[in-house]
Structure 1
Amino acid sequence: MKAPTLFLLFPILLILLTVPSHAGFFDDLTKGIGSSGTSTIGLDDSTIAKGLKEALATGTSRAVGSVSRPDGYFSNEAIKILMPEKIRNVADILGKFGFQQEVDNFVLSMNRAAEKAAPKAKEHFVSALKEMSFEDARGILAGGNSAATDYFRKTTGDKIYASFKPVVTANMKDTGVVRNYSQMMDRFAAIPFVGTASSFDLGHYVTTKAVDGLFSMLAVEENKIRTDPAARGTQLLKKVFGR
């Protein structure tokens, strides 16, 4: 028996992205795919393929867009980059001594650096979609409700980190992260008897949190496409995912 053709990838992922696990519906759909290139829902393989690609493009584009706009990280409590744990004692002490503004400026500037780096992720998501194999699809299908997000994280996570890091580092200067951090540490050092602050890689911290936040939003968008018809936007998505 020949190996499954590439077109079989599309209906499998279509089910993943649009409906909860439902063996009966999956069986009905796959039974209808034959040599004529049609399915029981009346769509040909070309339409299904376009719908799938548009769904993934829509989800990733929305996730990137949501975090790359001003306050995309800062105003979203789920992904906001907070004071690093290693220097949280510094922030607490500074706040008590009347320097809360310095602390707030530092937190805001970290989030601004992440927001400026976020657009870099889009190209990696597009590449991952193009390279997705039938075996990948099987693994996603057997996974949970965040299986597509998990797949993108596995295939693009390191690449996104690598592309984010230099942008974050550069923007840490432009958005004032370095300046605000230095001012905050200087204020802390001037307070008698408080000891010294722990050192850490600030660029790594901001980049890691930026990547984590992006994938958190991608999981949100994946869930919307699976469960909410209103999130499907275009006429093609409504046609393909018309349930």
Structure 2
Amino acid sequence: MKKISFLSAAFVLLLFTNLNTQAQIKLSDIFKKVTEKTTKTSASGTPSTLEIGQGIKEALQIGVSAGADRLSVKDGFLGNLAVKILMPPEAQKVEKTLRSIGFNKLCDNVIVSLNRAAEDAATEAKPIFISAIKQMTLTDATNILLGNKDAATAYFKRVTTAQLSQKFSPIVAASLNKVNATKYYSDLTNQYNRLPLVKPVNTDLTAYVTQKAIDGLFVEVAKEELKIRDNLSSRSSTLLQKVFGYADKKKG
């Protein structure tokens, strides 16, 4: 009799457990459907001004981080034809002349060292860009969202160029010395200036590399901006989908 009671109790417990599990599964399914519906709804419609501000800041932080990271590694500048730093314009004739008489290695050393200096400086770019994003007003964000495809890049040029130049200049100067760029360039110009009937060449190498490093950063930022505006797969969050989807409709 006790055995039968025990089996009955076990059966009831098993039945209850099974029903409870089924209930949990159903509740889970309901919750999933509600969540999917909420997500779908929140990714559509007109974003608030606050959402636009948050969305633009999120997008730009992703973009400038990716751009700065690409340039701040070895060959970030040297291996990227879009931003690779060549001889200063006034020294390109020097380079051509010296290469024609066998000074290829000297010319190559100068170009490599200029790009290494820019790569060193680029490591300091991200905090400056992030600071500019944090200080962005809601009006700035809306203007960027609904502006031209380079509106964010134009904003960064306006608010960060002076600070980037101030921050980069001493880093570039130190790096030029560290990688012997100053020496290589001095050797190059000295070799050229010894040639008869040539006009001596003098270049502020630090100012030149600093400006080229900043120009390169803005090239990469512009690429990232265009990517998130034109490439739907780059809109990696519900907020980005909602904000930039809204922009697409407004411009369409």
Moved more, 141-150 or 53-62: 141-150
Correspondence for 2:121 among 111, 117, 121: 117
The CA deviation string for residues 6-38 of structure 1, in whole angstroms up to 9 with x for no partner, is: xxxxxxxxxxxxxxxxxxxxxxxxxxxxxxxx7
Is residue 193–residue 199 contact of structure 2 (8 Å, CA) maintained in 1? Answer: yes
How many residues align? The count is: 204
Paired residue for 2:206?
203
Find out whether 1:215 has 2:218 as its counterpart: yes
C-alpha separation in 2, matches of 1:47 and 1:239: 11
Moved more, 179-188 or 43-52: 43-52
Identity, % of aligned positions: 37
Paired residue for 1:53?
57
Query: Of Structure 1 and Structure 2, which has the larger fraction of its residues in helix?
Result: 2
Task: Give the counterpart letter for 2:224 in structure 1.
Answer: E
C-alpha separation in 2, matches of 1:40 and 1:123: 32
Change (3 A) 1:59 1:39: closer
Paired residue for 1:185?
189
Give the CA RMSD over aligned residues. 2.6
The CA deviation string for residues 78-118 of structure 1, in whole angstroms up to 9 with x for no partner, is: 11111111111111111011001100110110000000000
Task: Give the counterpart letter for 2:228 in structure 1.
Answer: I
TM-score, normalization: structure 1? 0.74
SS of the residue corresponding to residue 195 of structure 1 reads coil
Q: 5+ residue gaps in structure 2?
A: 1-41, 246-252
SS of the residue corresponding to residue 145 of structure 1 reads coil
Change (3 A) 1:135 1:53: closer
TM-score, normalization: structure 2? 0.72
Map 1:59-208 → 2, pairs under 5 A: 59-141=63-145, 143-191=147-195, 193-208=196-211
